[in-house]
């Protein structure tokens, strides 16, 4: 196991003391994921105080603990005034000592998928590191940066935001060499009164970038001009663009959408490149162009990149599908339970419509609230009706107070049932599903839609449902 930090170095950076020097193999702020040899940083949060878990951290094999409260007499504790500040101080030091090319990724949708795709694609030829899961906030980004090995050649960091100024703080920490914005759409409208304000907030990724930096932009995005102007104002002169626009550096020439993926033909740096994607949906066609554009900025071989893209697999909760054996057949389950915004909801529904319907089978969807839409919430939920009707769904179930707007607007013959909360949904009655059904679960972590995914996975012998559901 490679040493990530020396305890004496950590103590020096955070202005604390420790009696002896020993290796630290990782950094954790959550004892549930802590590994033996990790240092545990006790963070005081809104609902939890990490200091309550110090004993648990040591029991799980923590090499030492960084704390601001003296809860233990052990010598392997580093005491500081503010552990959150120490988290950021260590992140600053990690960035200073790194010689890696750093890629910053943001956007309204597609951040995590594109980040993970870049990690997979670049990881075959370079020592590549990426922020874990969706660690894209003021806790996750510094924690990810601290855990980046010194041997890293390419580091990829996702940056999210709900308010103005949040990305600015993160980009000051990360200092990317390459800044990628997947796209900008009117999400988080509970916190922003216009698309232009959202663009300004996303454009903060250009405010402090490393020398010789490059901006990667979606040429088709309606905010392209504004984003380019923001980048220019911040001293960026190197751009790589992607999309269907004729001037795109990575241009989509043609594509064919299939049930389980796509075939793509693109023009990259005036050369035609063809490849397959094993993740369905047009949005993944565009994500693949963003990957190619970033690799173009890194001067990677595009034939090699295309070959790696062809091996990508869907992420958990982001389009991963399961064929669940029930009765004399199977149910195809598409898990989109991780996140939901108007663009991603429409993309999931349209992609799902590519699933072939067998005789007597049905298209069924369980849809959870899209959050952070503010005064536009009712309008944006009702707007999803168009995609649903176009995609010829047979049954729609909705969960959440905002999804009630959509449910009431739907044709009566495709309404399943509506539930205000996930805990009022009768999970034991999911046996109305039958062999041949295609099932989409789309929502967000906050709506706990994963519960429905897990229950459907458990289905085996189906019996008649007790729910008064049309079409059952």
Contacts of 105 (CB under 8 A, 6+ apart): 111, 114, 115, 118, 156, 157, 158, 159, 180, 182
Q: Inform me whether the pLDDT recorded for 462 exceeds 80.
A: no
Reported as a single tens digit per residue, the pLDDT across 64-101 is 999 999 887 788 899 999 999 999 999 999 999 999 99
Contact 24, 10 (CB under 8 A): yes
Strands (E), 175-260: 178-181, 214-218, 238-243, 250-258
Q: pLDDT tens for residues 205-226?
A: 998 655 568 999 999 999 999 9
Residue 412 CA to residue 151 CA, distance in Å, equals 59
The answer to whether 363 touches 328, Cβ cutoff 8 Å, is: no
Average pLDDT over residues 185-204: 84
Does 349 score more than 60 pLDDT? yes
Residues above pLDDT 90, as percent of the chain = 72
User: In the structure encoding, which two tokens stand for residue 380, read together?
Assistant: 């944006």
What string of DSSP letters covers 354-389? TSPPPTT--EEEEEEPPPS-GGGHHHHHHHHHHHHH
Query: Nearest 10 degrees: CA dihedral of 256, 257, 263, 267?
Result: 60
Smallest CA-to-CA distance from 205 within 184, 238, 175, 237 is with 175
| Per-residue confidence (pLDDT) for residue 466, from 0 to 100 | 44
Tell me how far apart the alpha carbons of residues 115 and 179 are, in angstroms, rounded to a whole number: 12
The Cα–Cα gap between 259 and 255 comes to 13
Query: Would you say residue 377 has pLDDT above 50?
Result: yes
User: Beta-carbon neighbour count of residue 323 at 10 Å?
Assistant: 10
**471 pLDDT tier (thresholds 50, 70, 90):** very low
DSSP bridge partners of 272:
267
Least confident of 44-53, 301-310, 419-428: 419-428
Residue 176 token pair: 């990317």
* Residue 285 pLDDT greater than 70, yes or no: yes
Q: How far apart are CA 233 and CA 207, in angstroms?
A: 9
Contact 160, 133 (CB under 8 A): no
The single residue listed with the structure tokens 């800044």 is 179
Query: How far apart are alpha carbons 84 and 454 in whole angstroms?
Result: 35
- pLDDT (0 to 100) of residue 92: 97
Q: Would you state the structure tokens that stand for residue 238, as one six-digit string?
A: 């190197």
Whole-angstrom distance, CA of residue 384 vs CA of residue 165 = 31
Instruction: Work out the number of other CB atoms within 10 angstroms of the CB of residue 165.
Output: 10
Note the pTM of the prediction, 2 decimals. 0.87
Distance CA 356, CA 392 (A): 11
What average pLDDT does the segment 446-450 reach?
93
Q: Is the pLDDT assigned to residue 343 strictly greater than 80?
A: yes
pLDDT in tens, 130-164: 998 778 899 999 999 999 999 999 999 999 988 89
Binned at pLDDT 50, 70 and 90, residue 467 comes out as very low
Domains of the chain: 5-82 (3.40.1390.10), 98-309 (3.40.1190.10), 320-457 (3.90.190.20)
Structure tokens, 71:
């809860």
Q: Answer yes or no: are the C-beta atoms of 326 and 462 closer than 8 Å.
A: yes
How many Cβ atoms from other residues are within 10 Å of residue 64's Cβ? 24
- For residue 464, is pLDDT > 60? no
Take residue 327 and report the two structure tokens written for it: 């009765």
The answer, yes or no, to whether residue 420 has pLDDT greater than 60, is yes
């Amino acid at each position: 196991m490679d040493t990530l930090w020396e305890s004496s170095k950590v103590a020096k950076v955070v202005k604390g003391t420790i009696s002896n020097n020993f290796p630290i193999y990782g950094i954790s702020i959550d004892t549930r994921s802590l590994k033996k040899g990790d240092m545990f940083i006790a963070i005081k949060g809104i609902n939890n105080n990490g200091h309550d878990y110090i004993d648990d951290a040591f029991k799980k094999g923590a090499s030492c603990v960084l704390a601001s409260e003296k809860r233990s007499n052990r010598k392997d504790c580093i005491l500081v005034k503010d552990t959150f500040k120490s988290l950021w101080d260590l992140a600053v030091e990690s960035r200073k000592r790194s010689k890696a090319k750093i890629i910053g990724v943001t956007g309204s949708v597609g951040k995590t998928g594109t980040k993970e795709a870049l990690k997979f694609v670049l990881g075959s030829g370079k020592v590549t590191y990426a922020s874990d899961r969706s660690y894209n906030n003021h806790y996750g980004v510094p924690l990810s940066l601290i855990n980046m090995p010194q041997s890293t050649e390419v580091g990829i960091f996702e940056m999210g935001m709900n308010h103005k100024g949040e990305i600015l703080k993160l980009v000051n920490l990360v200092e990317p060499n390459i800044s990628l914005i997947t796209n900008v759409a009117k999400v988080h409208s509970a916190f922003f009164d216009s698309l232009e304000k959202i663009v300004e907030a996303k454009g903060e990724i250009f405010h402090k970038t490393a020398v010789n930096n490059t901006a990667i932009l979606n040429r088709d995005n309606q905010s392209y001009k504004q984003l380019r102007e923001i980048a220019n104002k911040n001293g960026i002169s190197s751009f790589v663009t992607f999309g269907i626009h004729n001037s795109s550096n990575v241009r989509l020439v043609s594509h064919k959408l299939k049930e389980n993926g796509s075939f793509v033909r693109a023009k990259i740096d005036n050369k035609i490149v063809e490849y397959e994607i094993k993740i369905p949906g047009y949005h993944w066609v565009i994500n693949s162009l963003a990957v190619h554009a970033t690799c173009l900025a890194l001067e990677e071989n595009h034939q090699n990149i295309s070959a790696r893209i062809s091996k990508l697999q869907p992420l958990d909760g982001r389009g991963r599908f399961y064929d669940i054996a029930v009765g004399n057949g199977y149910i195809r389950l598409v898990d989109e339970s991780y996140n939901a915004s108007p663009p991603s909801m429409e993309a999931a529904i349209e992609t799902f419509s590519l699933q072939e319907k067998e005789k007597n089978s049905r298209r069924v969807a369980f849809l959870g609230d899209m959050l952070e839409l503010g005064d536009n919430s009712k309008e944006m939920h009702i707007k999803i009706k168009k995609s649903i009707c176009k995609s010829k769904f047979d049954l729609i179930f909705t969960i959440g107070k905002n999804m009630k707007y959509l449910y009431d607007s739907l044709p009566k013959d495709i309404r399943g049932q509506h539930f205000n909360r996930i805990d009022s949904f009768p999970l034991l009655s999911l046996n109305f599903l039958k062999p041949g059904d295609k099932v989409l679960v789309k929502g967000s972590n906050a709506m706990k839609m994963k519960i429905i995914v897990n229950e459907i996975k458990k289905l085996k012998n189906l019996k008649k449902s007790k729910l008064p559901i049309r079409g059952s």
